[in-house]
Amino acid sequence: MKTSHLKNILSLVFLICLFACQTQVNSSEQYICPMKCEDHKTYDHPGTCPVCKMDLVKVSSLEAPILDEDGISEESIFNLQSEWKTQDNETIHLTDLRGKVLVVVMIYTSCEAACPRLVADMRNIYSKVDNPAVDYVLVSIDPEKDTPEKLKAYAKEEHLEGDQWILLQGKLDDVREFSNVLSMKYKKISPIDFSHTNIISVFDKNGVLQHQQEGLGVSNDKLVQEVKALIEE
């Protein structure tokens, strides 16, 4: 009788310890936005990113990205469902850009200060890479004024013509969502002007962010090297 009672006590203690260990393991799990909208900020429970609204993923899962049935990683911008108009007035989704390395910048056509220099940097990268496996994407942060027609004229004015140059107009919320993914900050400071950070981003063929360059007129050697490496993957 005593032996049986002792066994029951030991079994109960074992179950309590097992439950405690499992709880400790679960509480140690950390979750993060797959797009890293908040840099490396983590959460101790699953949920959605307060910025881009994508589902948070376990930090460990980023080491081996989970792919959906189409082979798209949870980190990919191709998960965004937004629609965009090109400079040719064609409606596209970001998934339509899949299969190309993407060099992306956010600008607005009436900008007279930083944006012309960013566009010059993009042209310089284009000339150095010189490969049709890359698309160069310019996303307007002023979609109310930057219509497809205006983007078309801007592309001609800035010598951004050819199939590799894609200029996009989106809805205000979609532009803001995309800028958050890129950690690109902008703010309207007058009816015609914006303040904004100057970032050129590089995505691989599956839409996963691989490299960013911040600043104007800085050396783009590392970015160009990264683009060429991604072409070969």
Binding site as annotated, residues for Cu cation:
111, 115, 196
**Which residues, 6+ apart, have CB-to-CB distance to 137 below 8 Å?**
97, 102, 103, 104, 105, 166, 167, 168
Q: Write the burial class of residue 113 (CB in 10 Å: 0-12 exposed, 13-18 middle, 19+ buried).
A: exposed
Q: Give the annotated binding-site residues.
A: 111, 115, 196
| Amino acid occupying residue 173 | D
Amino acid at 18: L
CA–CA separation, 211 and 108 (whole Å): 22
